[in-house]
């Protein structure tokens, strides 16, 4: 199954809404601990998910979050 890196961006004033959007939204990502720059002022979050395609990857996010998110197909590589 392909792997996607989801990069979400929001403005500082949207932080509360971005986190509140998860309430009542059923997702395997609920309760996860994504990388985030919100506390340092960057207001970005990243998830690494497996999904059939980019649309299915974004569907794991609440609509408010997914509309501000880019799904990038990624894979692991070994550095020499």
Identify the CA nearest to 63 among candidates 31, 24, 37: 24
| Residues 64/17, Cβ–Cβ less than 8 Å | yes
Judge if pTM exceeds 0.75.
yes
For 43-64, write each residue's pLDDT tens digit. Answer: 999 999 999 999 999 999 999 9
Using an 8 Å Cβ cutoff, are 37 and 7 in contact? Answer: no
Mean of pLDDT values over 36-46: 93
pLDDT for 28 equals: 94
């Amino acid at each position: 199954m392909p792997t996607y890196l989801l990069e979400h961006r929001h403005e500082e004033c949207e932080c509360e809404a971005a986190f509140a959007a998860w309430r009542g939204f059923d997702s395997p990502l609920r309760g996860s601990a994504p990388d985030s720059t919100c506390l340092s002022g960057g207001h970005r979050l990243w998830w690494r998910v497996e999904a059939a395609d980019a649309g299915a990857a974004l569907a794991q996010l609440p609509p408010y979050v997914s509309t501000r998110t880019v799904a990038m197909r990624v894979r692991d590589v070994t550095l020499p």
